[in-house]
Amino acid sequence: MFDTVGSYGVPAGFSGLAPLGRYVTLMAFGGFEDTQLGAHVDHALHAIGVDERRRPFTPTFWTVKKGEPHPSNIEQNWFPGVHCNVGGGYPESGLSDIALIWMIARTQALTRLSFDTAAIRRALKPDIDGDIPDSAEKFPIDRNFPRSREMFPAGAPANSLVSAGGDPGEEQVNEKVHWSVLAKLGRSCNIYGAANARYDPPNLKTAMARLGPDLAGKIAALTPEERDLLPPALASLARVSA
């Protein structure tokens, strides 16, 4: 899954009227799409964008009740960029190609699927310095009153228009920061329309301050399969960031 958000499935964090919206949708259409992981799924991968600030694009994580074991077949990683920097859609695909390579690499490692490595290298152009557009440009409320996504919250995201909050009874499954976020940290790129801005997302800083040394255990390191698909210069940044 690439940056699955509240506009699909249950809109966690979408609006203070989310409970009413769920009730009306249940009565009229039988409910939202099911966002729970099916028992027939062997491996589940979810890439989430650090820098998305639009409220309707609050990410929908796989969660468990606090204290319950985390399913080992679920991986959820934060990546640099907004919604389309992760799932694709912008003319410049440098950042989304990083997320796509991770998805391909993990699929290779976890399943019997094989890919044409040479074709992937020719087609994809991963770039750690890729731009992060202002995805909220046409969303007046979110542009003027942006809200960063909360990383490693105390609970699952709450249904609130003004506060990220969290459900203290739930937690997000196997939530990690992909190495590319740390590799991009401090580098310059165009961010939200500002040229040559330093990449320093406030939600990552908050998570770093809250977790301290525990953050080291929540970093998704470079895998051998990723290394085989990445340009050597980019792969070398992963070793430095780790």
Residue 1 placed within a domain: no
Residue 144 placed within a domain: yes
Q: Which residues form the domain of 96?
A: 18-241
Tens digit of pLDDT at every position of the chain (242 positions): 787 775 444 544 444 445 554 445 445 544 445 556 667 778 899 999 999 999 888 888 888 888 889 989 999 999 999 999 999 999 999 999 999 999 999 999 999 899 999 999 999 999 999 999 999 888 888 888 888 999 998 665 544 433 444 567 888 899 999 999 999 999 999 999 999 999 999 999 999 999 999 999 999 999 999 999 999 999 999 975 54
Cα separation, 126 vs 95, whole angstroms: 6
Give the number of domains in the chain: 1
pLDDT of residue 184: 98
CA nearest to 48, candidates 188, 174, 139? 174
Residue 130 placed within a domain: yes
Backbone torsions φ then ψ of 74, nearest 5 degrees: -115, 130
Residue 125 placed within a domain: yes
Tell me whether strands 188-191 and 194-198 are parallel, antiparallel or unpaired.
antiparallel
